[in-house]
Amino acid sequence: MTVVLAATGFVAMDWATGDKDGKGESSADAGPTTSGEPTPEDASEPSPDPSRSTPGTSPTASLGASPEGSPDTSPSTSPDTSPSTSPSPPRRTTIPETGPGTFTVASGKSAKVGKGTALRYRVEVEKGLSLSASDVAEEVEGILRDPRGWTADGTSAFQRVSSGATDFVVKVATPGTVDDICGEFGLDTRGDYNCNVGENVMVNLERWELATPVYADDVKAYRALIINHEVGHFLGHGHVTCPGEGKPAPAMMQQIKGMKGCVPNVWPYDENGRLITGPAVP
């Protein structure tokens, strides 16, 4: 068992060198994602995203093939990056290294959000954890229905279900279980990262509970980044990088590798419905 003490503004843990952030950050983010997205000159301008492909066709881990040093530990101020209005409260969190690999499904369903045909999804939490599946589901619903989320593209829609056919499944699991499931698709999540493989949006429990240094003061905001990044991969979006000094970091940027001059941001779109993006990462 890994015991971690977290408090507002302080996380008592060793942040390993490598790609942890956060589709994704792994959420820690990164992965072998193909992106044909052009390089817009100004990320504030809306632009089409040719990097999109058929949802869920290629596995993506939120980690880089070649980690680049330690995560950026100096958060910058950015407008409204969190679905909550206040930082996460102090807490003592125990992170199990692994679990049974079986899951509790959040009951109930949500209304459809967005235009077009809804992508149906389930939310599941690995058994044995202290997390409430219904609480996690409520948080995921809030992220996916936020007007700055993927529904702002005018074509994406989502609906949470607890039974029947699904397009993807959000699973919060121990690091070991995430490694096992992502590893089945050839991805090495190293006990630290999230991934999107097949229909699975795998969320590492440690990232969900403790975020990363840049987001240590607002774990809820980081959770939005995890979901937006990994669901972004499911929708076919590839990685991009910082569009310029002082600009919001795109949700599809591997922010765990450093902010590269950008300020923290967890949403794909801004409040005016403009895509926040940057140069495509090869």
pTM: 0.73
- Is residue 241 assigned to a domain? yes
- Is residue 263 assigned to a domain? no
* Residue 29, CA distances (Å) to 20, 62, 119 in order: 6, 3, 23
Cα(116)–Cα(99) distance, rounded to whole angstroms? 37
Cα(124)–Cα(91) distance, rounded to whole angstroms? 23
8-state DSSP, 93 = E
Q: Give the pLDDT confidence score for residue 58 in this predicted structure.
A: 54
Instruction: Output the CA angle 203-52-151, nearest 5 degrees.
Output: 65
> Which segment of 40-44, 73-77, 203-207 scores lowest on mean pLDDT?
40-44
- Is residue 281 assigned to a domain? no
The tens digit of pLDDT for each residue in 223-277 reads 999 999 999 999 999 999 999 999 999 999 989 889 999 999 999 999 999 999 9
Range of the domain at 23: 16-64+92-257
Residues 197/187, Cβ–Cβ less than 8 Å = yes
The tens digit of pLDDT for each residue in 82-139 reads 444 445 454 557 899 999 999 999 999 999 999 999 999 999 999 999 999 999 999 9
pLDDT at 63 over 70: no
> Which segment of 38-42, 45-49, 266-270 scores lowest on mean pLDDT?
38-42
Residues 4/94, Cβ–Cβ less than 8 Å = yes
- Is residue 266 assigned to a domain? no
pLDDT at 12 over 90: no
- Is residue 84 assigned to a domain? no
> Which segment of 170-174, 209-213, 265-269 scores lowest on mean pLDDT?
209-213
Number of independent structural domains in the chain: 1
Q: Give the pLDDT confidence score for residue 61 in this predicted structure.
A: 59
